[in-house]
Structure 1
Amino acid sequence: MPQLDPATNIILIGMPGSGKSTVGVLLAKRLGMGFVDTDLLIQEKAGRTLQEIVDQDGYQALRHTEEAVLLDLKVQHQIISTGGSAVYSAAAMQHLKANGVAVFLDIPLKRVIERIGDHSARGISRRPDQSLGELFEERYQLYCQYADLTVAGEGRNQDEVCDAVVKGLGSLPVR
């Protein structure tokens, strides 16, 4: 088992389709922690789906709402599944990492495309002229920058990714 302080959160970051929500629930069960899906908190705060926010107010509005939700989040001993664009807010990531370990669930672009299909209905925060490939390249650098631990998802099912996260957390210094 990982040597985490009981108050420490595990923050999952990565592209849509990387398994943050699914692996997050598995991790919460395995480690006896709570689970928070920030996409759901954003929808609750806005009273709309992520896609409705993007369609009606633009991708920047989604990022702004996401940042506000993340900065308001004050939890302990939780698995936090963030939206794919959480890493655009340095302030939000600093806030989350002050009491948590960031785990990047890394999958290749081809897997993202396979898993999310028609991304136009996913509420993905991207410029209207930006391809999924361009978005992937832009975000990849940010995920790497904020990650305390990177776990490759390629060739692994959700349980195997969960196992790899637990093993990886065990190799980190006590937090």
Structure 2
Amino acid sequence: MFLEEKELEILEILEKNSRISIDSIAKMVDLNVEQTEEIVKKLEKEKVIVQYSTDINWRRVDGHEGVTAMIDVKVAPKRGVGFDEIAERIYRFPEVKSVYLMSGAYDLSVIVQGHSMSEVAYFVSEKLSTLDSVLSTTTHFILKKYKHDGTIYEQGDEDRRIVVSP
């Protein structure tokens, strides 16, 4: 789908802050509110804007830290459907947050969330690895999230050293 310059500008604004008001967006792109609303509705209808979401730093909420794992999956693609069929079977599990087709040694990258490491391990051993097309998996547990989708989660203290220059 080809998008006009104003449509692209609106998408870039919403990608950075989906809570910004239509009034503010309209001023930023130099359109009136009605034109801006019309563009946003069109982009939603065409599934260019798929969903509005919120990034939450769960490490700051006591009792809700959970465990996130990135699982590399090697699969045997099926004739006629390639990787799509197995990817769809995997993303239908409620534990699965994301599935990506990848280049390299593994075919799919799967992001899984659970309450504990044993819950994620159970998912891998009892649900994911038992699927017909899955040949092997490698699980990586995420220990700390520094930046996600352009958002920095934990900024360290400012560097208080004095800058010395010749």
Please report the TM-score for the alignment, with normalisation by the length of structure 2.
0.22
Higher strand residue share? 2
* Larger Rg over CA atoms: 2
Higher helix residue share? 1
- Relative contact order, CA 8 A, sep 6+: which one is greater? 1
